[in-house]
Amino acid sequence: MAKSDLEMPVCDNGRSTRVGFLLIPGFALMSYASAIEPLRAANVLTGRNLYRWRHIAIQGSEIVASNGVRIEADASIADVGRLDTIVVCAGGNPQTFNHPPTLAFLRKVARHSVRLGGVSAGPYLLAKAGLLDGYRCTVHWEHIPAFAETFPFLHLSHSLFEIDRDRFTCAGGIAALDMMHALIRIDHGPSVAAAVSDWFLQTEVRRGEVAQRLSPTERFGVHHPKLVATLSRMEQNIEAPLAPRRLAGLADISVRQLERLFSQHLHTTIKQRYLQLRLERAKLLLSQTTMAVSEIALATGFSTPMHFSRTYRQQFGLTPRQERMVD
């Protein structure tokens, strides 16, 4: 598409949209790149500076990504200046992030009507700052269990991205490309957004409500519809596990038939697979939250902390408390 074919921006007010990328040490480089590159493309394809951006550090002048790439900051949270939009880019374990000046900075800019967004683990920091209350939001699927336990009253979805008024959140990775398409569409119309996506070879732009993860069929390599449905139910019922008889009833087959499906396709039993799912959830909660071991036991369907600890050690070779010490 030629530049002349692009329609005039929806919100062409004669100046660039000023965007700040708040890079938290250990941020996910893929998510950051997927968020900033569409802005550059919009400028190139229209021949106008629709967007200008700055890299913001919480301290120091250099920010190191999760893969070791270093980016030089051109502003800090103390001297960033006026911005229209801020994108929080984070990664790793956001539960351990403890920097009150950053949270205070985010609250301050929110009071000045700055549009706020987060990619990958970025939404976690917005939630910690109390800036997602009353908004739809999402976060990377790996952080969802801990996020839901820590912020139980937020409107959390499992979507690729959410745009709700002056807040936008994204699960991360290449999903940021899809979110930026939606934001550029809001800012400058469908033709500019389509041109940017076409430039990045996006033959299909995904909607925000698309699921983050592959289906059980793709993740587990199984195709039997009743087995796929059962695996999904198990993932959705971790705190109060469903009995094999209940799972079989929901699948409209006998327990024996369901056991046969697990044996043939997954080489395990219903109880063993369910236990694995619960323990994997517990492992995430141990590493990504400060919840007490007893609380994690209840959140993953164990009747007592002792039973949880014993079972966890059998699976991973460490007790839950030892697991935290290793982390």
Q: Which CATH number belongs to the domain containing residue 273 in this structure?
A: 1.10.10.60
Verify that 81 and 137 share a domain, yes or no.
yes
Structural domain of 316: 216-326
Predicted pLDDT at 223: 83
Q: Quick one: tokens of 134?
A: 């009353």
Q: Give 51's strand partners.
A: 17
- 144 within domain boundaries: yes
Pure H helices in 205-269: 216-220, 225-236, 244-250, 255-266
Predicted pLDDT at 6: 43
- DSSP state string for 124-165: HHHHHTT--TTSEE---GGGHHHHHHHSTTSEE--BSEEEET
User: Which pLDDT tens digit goes with each residue over 44-75?
Assistant: 999 999 999 999 999 888 899 989 999 999 99
Verify that 151 and 271 share a domain, yes or no.
no
Predicted pLDDT at 5: 39
Separation CA 93–CA 129 (nearest Å): 16
Predicted pLDDT at 1: 40
Contact of 67 with 1, CB cutoff 8 Å: no
- 205 within domain boundaries: no
Question: How many separate domains does the chain show?
Answer: 2
**Gap between the terminal Cα atoms of the chain:** 50
Separation CA 155–CA 165 (nearest Å): 14
DSSP symbol at 69: -
Predicted pLDDT at 184: 95
Contact of 202 with 58, CB cutoff 8 Å: no
Q: How far is CA 173 from CA 90, 177, 301, in A?
A: 11, 8, 31
- DSSP state string for 285-300: HHHH----HHHHHHHT
Separation CA 207–CA 204 (nearest Å): 9
Verify that 26 and 152 share a domain, yes or no.
yes
Separation CA 162–CA 245 (nearest Å): 37
Q: Quick one: tokens of 122?
A: 């970025």
User: Which pLDDT tens digit goes with each residue over 184-195?
Assistant: 999 999 999 999
Domain boundary among 153, 174, 199: 199
Separation CA 176–CA 161 (nearest Å): 8
Predicted pLDDT at 92: 80
Q: Which CATH number belongs to the domain containing residue 138 in this structure?
A: 3.40.50.880
Predicted pLDDT at 209: 65
Instruction: Going from the first residue of the chain to its last (327 residues), give the mean pLDDT of each consecutive group of 10, the final group possibly shorter.
Output: 39 76 94 95 95 93 90 91 94 84 95 94 94 94 86 90 94 90 94 92 74 68 87 89 94 94 92 93 83 90 92 91 76
Among 270, 278, 272, which residue's Cα sits nearest to residue 253? 270
Verify that 181 and 226 share a domain, yes or no.
no
Among 286, 297, 298, which residue's Cα sits nearest to residue 322? 286
Separation CA 319–CA 310 (nearest Å): 7
Predicted pLDDT at 210: 66
Contact of 193 with 157, CB cutoff 8 Å: no
Verify that 101 and 9 share a domain, yes or no.
yes
CA atoms within 13 A on the CB side of 291: 26
Verify that 194 and 316 share a domain, yes or no.
no
Predicted pLDDT at 214: 65
Predicted pLDDT at 208: 63
- 74 within domain boundaries: yes
Verify that 33 and 131 share a domain, yes or no.
yes
Predicted pLDDT at 307: 93
What's the predicted TM-score (pTM) here?
Answer: 0.74
Separation CA 165–CA 198 (nearest Å): 26
Non-local CB neighbours of 90 within 8 Å, separated by 6+ positions: 24, 26, 27, 28, 97, 118, 120, 121, 122, 124, 125
